[in-house]
Amino acid sequence: MSLDSIPRSAYNEDHEAFRRTVRQFMENEIAPNAAKWQEEKIVPKSIWPKAGELGMLCPTVPEEYGGLGLDFGYNAIVDEESSYYGGAATGFSLQSDIVVNYLVSYGSEEQKKHWLPKLVSGEVVTAIAMTEPGTGSDLQSMTTTAKKDGNHYVINGSKTYITNGQNADLILVCAKTDTEVQPAWKGVSIILVEAEREGFKRGRNLDKIGMDEADTSELFFEDVRVPMTNCLGEEGKGFIYLMSELPQERLSIAVSAMASTQKAFDETVAFVKERKAFGKTVFDFQNTKFVLADIKAKLQVGWAHLDWALNRHYKKELTAEEGAAAKLWHTELQWEVMDKCLQLHGGAGYMNEYAIAKMWRGARVTRIFGGTSEIMKELIGRSL
Q: What is the pLDDT of residues 154-188, one digit of tens each?
A: 999 999 999 999 999 999 999 999 998 888 889 99
Q: How sure is the predictor about 384, in pLDDT bands with cuts at 50, 70 and 90?
A: very high
Does residue 2 form part of some domain? Answer: no
**Residue in 80, 249, 274, 322 annotated catalytic:** 249
Phi/psi region, residue 171 (left: phi>0; alpha: psi -120 to 50; beta: rest), is beta
Q: Which pLDDT value is given to residue 125? A: 98
Is the pLDDT assigned to residue 103 strictly greater than 90?
yes
143 and 115 in a single domain? The answer is: no
Closest alpha carbon to 170 in 150, 154, 194, 147: 194
Do 98 and 167 fall into the same domain? no
In the predicted model, is pLDDT for residue 375 greater than 70? yes
pLDDT (tens digit, 9 = 90+) per residue, 195-241?
999 999 999 999 999 999 999 999 999 999 999 999 999 999 999 99
- Does residue 360 share a domain with residue 339? yes
Query: Could you give the CA distance from residue 312 to residue 307 in angstroms, rounded to a whole number?
Result: 8
- Residue 74 sits in the same domain as residue 106: yes
For the stretch 274-303, pLDDT in tens is 999 899 999 999 999 999 999 999 999 999
Instruction: Pick the last residue of a domain from 124, 159, 183.
Output: 124
For 32, the 3-state DSSP assignment is: helix
- pTM here is 0.94
What residues have CB less than 8 Å from 278, skipping those under 6 apart?
none
- The two counts, helices (H) then strands (E), for the chain are 12, 9
Average pLDDT score over residue span 74-80: 97
E strands in the chain = 126-129, 145-149, 152-163, 170-176, 188-194, 200-205, 216-227, 276-277, 280-281
Q: Identify whether 6 is part of a domain.
A: no
Query: Average pLDDT, stretch 320-325?
Result: 96
Confidence category of residue 72, pLDDT binned at 50, 70, 90: very high
Residue 344 belongs to a domain with what CATH number? 1.20.140.10
Q: What percent of the chain has pLDDT over 70?
A: 98
- Please state the rounded mean pLDDT for residues 93-116: 97
Helix axes 238-274, 355-363, angle to 10 degrees: 150
Q: In what helix (H) or strand (E) does residue 16 lie, and over which residues does it extend? A: helix 13-25
Q: How many whole angstroms separate alpha carbon 254 and alpha carbon 331? A: 6
126-129 and 152-163 beta bridge pairing? unpaired
Tell me, what's the pLDDT at 290? 98
Where in the sequence is the domain holding 54, given as residue range(s)?
A: 13-124
pLDDT at 2: 60
**What is the chain's mean pLDDT, rounded?**
94
Task: Please compute the mean of the pLDDT values over residues 117-142 and round it to a whole number.
Answer: 89
- In a domain, residue 4? The reply is no
Please report how the helices 320-344 and 238-274 are oriented relative to each other, as an axis angle in degrees rounded to 10: 20
Shared domain check, 226 and 303: no
pLDDT at 291: 98
Q: In terms of domains, do 229 and 295 share one? A: no
The domain spanning residue 60 has which CATH number? 1.10.540.10
DSSP characters for 149-196? ETTEEEEEEEEEEEETTTT-SEEEEEEES-SS-SSGGGGEEEEEEETT
pLDDT > 90: percent of the chain: 90
Quote the DSSP letter at residue 201.
Answer: E
Residue 4: its pLDDT value, please?
A: 67
Beta strand pairing call for 126-129 and 170-176: parallel
Instruction: Please say whether the dihedral angle defined by the alpha carbons of residues 55, 56, 62 and 64, taken in this order, is positive or negative.
Output: negative
**CA angle centred on 14, ends 16 and 304, rounded to 5°:** 50
Give the CA angle between residues 350, 335, 315 to the nearest 5°: 145
Residue type, 104: V
Does one domain contain both 251 and 145? no
- Known catalytic residue at 249: yes
Rounded to the nearest 10 degrees, the angle between the axes of helix 72-81 and helix 238-274 is 40
Cα distance between the two ends of the chain: 42
- What is the arithmetic mean of pLDDT over 21-39? 94
- Same-domain check for residues 366 and 301: yes
Q: Give 217's strand partners.
A: 162, 205
CA distance 132 to 144: 8
> How many whole angstroms separate alpha carbon 219 and alpha carbon 206?
11
Residue 302 lies in a domain: yes
pLDDT at 1: 59
Predicted pLDDT of residue 191? 98
At 129 the pLDDT is: 95
* Dihedral, CA of residue 46, residue 263, residue 214 and residue 19, to nearest 10: 30
